[in-house]
């Protein structure tokens, strides 16, 4: 069978390396984003830059969106000159952005009226996972569409799971972001506690990482904590948005998330104090402020 033609909308920190991994896997990729330098990067990787959403998606078999938040996804997909206005019936739209479950369900309903099939397929693994092609991908939508997209997903990630109907992928991603935020906050508090106690921090984090306290978060963010290197892999601004999603979704189903509420407030505080553009490991700075340490 002919390799599907892919339109990729959104070439940010995650989107660029993900699109490049599809190109390496042999997919023809035509991409659009608002940043000219990202289009140049796509071209250098062997993709085809497009000047508009319409140009990118016209003739595509699969359209992938990887955008910051609900408003951008809704505008790109539902806008007068957006994805649905220029795709043919039978096209598969895969939204890999992180948005509210209700948004994914609404997109699927709108697309069905035009004969376009939809999967919500948010990812976890951060920039490193995107670059290495080892993302965890949680997918909502029809099983047959998930099966159809299987080879594409396997070019991007190593853990690819069909989680249920439209919106299920986003619900699982919301839970993922809850766990990650709580984990980062716990690691940050441990770092400050250890330093104030005068313990050798690298040694302490090494032994913690080998026991029950070990986690992917600690492994991936250990350098950030040790070097105070908060160059954005996943910005606090975005995690703030995601904590709003999980808070709303939990309220909608009647699930109490008391610890999640506390951490959502701490993420919001970090953002209000000017750390929104930093990596979410910069929650450490908030703990330092609360502990009277300079940041």
3-state helix, strand, coil in the chain (%, to 5): 55, 15, 30
Could you read off the pLDDT of 110-146 as tens digits, one per residue?
999 999 999 999 999 888 899 999 999 999 999 999 9
pLDDT at res. 235: 94
Q: Which helix (H) or strand (E) holds 7?
A: strand 6-9
pLDDT at res. 295: 62
- The residues near 168 (Cβ < 8 Å, ≥ 6 apart) are 101, 120, 138, 139, 140
Tell whether the model's pLDDT for residue 50 goes beyond 90: yes
Fold of 6-166: Rossmann fold (3.40.50)
Contact 179, 173 (CB under 8 A): no
Residue 1's pLDDT band, with cuts at 50, 70 and 90, is: low
Tell whether the model's pLDDT for residue 294 goes beyond 80: no
Q: Which of 173, 221, 222, 241 is catalytic?
A: 173
pLDDT at res. 172: 98
> Distance between CA atoms of 163 and 107, rounded to whole angstroms?
18
Mean pLDDT of 41-49: 98
Q: Which CATH class is domain 172-290?
A: mainly alpha
173 is catalytic: yes
- pLDDT > 90 in the chain, percent: 96
Beta-bridge mates of residue 138:
161
Could you read off the pLDDT of 276-286 as tens digits, one per residue?
999 999 999 99
Identical fold between 6-166 and 172-290: no
> Distance between CA atoms of 249 and 181, rounded to whole angstroms?
16
Structural domain spans, the chain: 6-166, 172-290
Tell whether the model's pLDDT for residue 78 goes beyond 90: yes
Could you read off the pLDDT of 153-192 as tens digits, one per residue?
999 999 999 999 999 999 999 999 999 999 999 999 999 9
């Amino acid at each position: 069978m002919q390799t599907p033609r892919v339109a990729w909308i959104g070439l940010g920190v995650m989107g660029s390396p993900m699109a490049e991994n599809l190109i390496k896997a042999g997919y023809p990729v035509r991409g659009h984003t608002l940043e000219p330098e990202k289009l140049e990067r796509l071209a250098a990787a062997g993709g085809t830059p497009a000047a508009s959403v319409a140009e990118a998606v016209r003739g595509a078999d699969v359209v992938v969106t990887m955008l910051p938040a609900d408003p951008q996804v809704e505008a790109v997909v539902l806008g007068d000159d957006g994805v649905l206005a220029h795709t043919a019936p039978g096209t598969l739209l895969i939204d890999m952005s992180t948005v509210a479950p209700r948004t994914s369900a609404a997109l699927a309903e709108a697309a069905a009226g035009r004969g376009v099939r939809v999967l919500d397929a948010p990812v976890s693994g951060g920039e490193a996972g995107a670059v290495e092609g080892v993302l965890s991908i949680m997918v909502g939508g029809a099983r047959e569409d998930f099966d159809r997209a299987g080879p594409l997903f396997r070019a991007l990630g190593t853990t690819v799971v069909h989680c249920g109907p439209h919106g299920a992928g986003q619900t699982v991603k919301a839970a993922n972001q809850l766990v990650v935020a709580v984990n980062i906050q716990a690691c940050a508090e441990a770092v400050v506690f250890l330093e104030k106690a005068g313990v050798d921090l690298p040694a302490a984090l090494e032994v913690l990482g080998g026991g029950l306290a070990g986690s992917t978060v600690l492994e991936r963010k250990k350098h950030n904590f040790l070097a105070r290197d908060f160059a954005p892999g996943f910005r606090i601004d975005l995690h703030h948005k995601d904590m709003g999603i999980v808070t709303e979704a939990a309220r909608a189903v009647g699930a109490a998330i008391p610890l999640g509420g506390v951490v959502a407030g701490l993420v919001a505080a970090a953002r209000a104090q000017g750390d929104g553009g930093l990596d979410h490991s910069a929650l450490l700075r908030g703990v330092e402020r609360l502990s009277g340490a300079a940041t």
